[in-house]
Amino acid sequence: MGIFEEPKIDCHAHVLDPARFPYGSDIAYKPAGQEIGTAEQLVQVMDTYGVRHLLLVQPNSGYGGDNRCMLDAISSHPGRFKGVAIVDLDADMGTLRDLKARGVVGIAFNPTFHGTDYYHGARGLMEKLAELDMFVQLQCEHDQFLAFAPWIEQIPVRVMIDHCGRPTPEAGLAQPGFAALLRLADTGRVFVKLSGYPKFSRDPYPFADAWPFVTALLKAFTPQRCMWASDWPYLRATERQDYGPLVRLAERLLPDAAARRAVLWETPRRLFGFGAADGG
């Protein structure tokens, strides 16, 4: 069985459908052209590459906290999608419970977009997510992770780290933010997406300077706490990106079949409850 036929769950992609769900007037960046990706287009990509389920992530671009497009995709394609929403930091339990009932498994924190100061008051939200057994999805870069590490240690919340933590390649594996991320593997509550290489690599595809970080993450977290993602449809990409080469790169970075099956299928299926009746 080739990599394109192996069962897969993509753990980070976006839907943008401004014809049906117009962008907010106060949103600074409004994706256009090939950045737009509707749920119907995404399902076609999934079917082409053997992706059975997918975790949708609400984008700051275009929509911000207006989760309607993502929630519509989840409800319109039963069993295919679950989601990560954006909410206000003071969101109440009723709001979070309603989102969970509609297929949302976590809430996105994105200091690469808002900066770390924006989240100074986020401890209460993290505690609510812990109570509801929902995830904090954290996208940070460079050493931003250091601002969140103490909360992650103290609050029994499950955490998804986007895009390998977006380390700085030239700073090496010992850079403070990445080293702190590796240490938190011991909590058993932190999970990492092996994805988003163009967001931190200084090299063109296949992003060779990102590989040492992938290797270190797999060693620290094991395939049972790592997952794969495409980041489709590649918002703000500085160079052309395509889905197929990223799938092929996953095969290259995960040559062991058992480890690859864990990262691409078993780990996210267990975490998000996808395909409970589907043996793969």
On whether residue 1 sits in a domain, the answer given is no
On whether residue 278 sits in a domain, the answer given is no
Residue 1 — pLDDT band, cuts 50, 70, 90?
Answer: confident
For residues 254 and 248, give the distance between their C-alpha atoms in angstroms, rounded to a whole number: 10
Per-residue pLDDT, 277: 47
On whether residue 266 sits in a domain, the answer given is yes
| 257: CB partners within 8 A, 6+ apart | none
On whether residue 242 sits in a domain, the answer given is yes
Q: Quick: pLDDT tens for 83-105.
A: 999 999 999 999 999 999 999 99
Per-residue pLDDT, 276: 59
On whether residue 279 sits in a domain, the answer given is no
Per-residue pLDDT, 33: 95
How much is the pTM?
Answer: 0.96
Domain that holds residue 15: 8-272
Per-residue pLDDT, 275: 75
Residue 11 — pLDDT band, cuts 50, 70, 90?
Answer: very high
On whether residue 167 sits in a domain, the answer given is yes
Q: Are 208 and 243 in contact (CB under 8 A)?
A: no
- CATH classification of the domain holding 25: 3.20.20.140
Q: Quick: pLDDT tens for 223-233.
A: 999 999 999 99
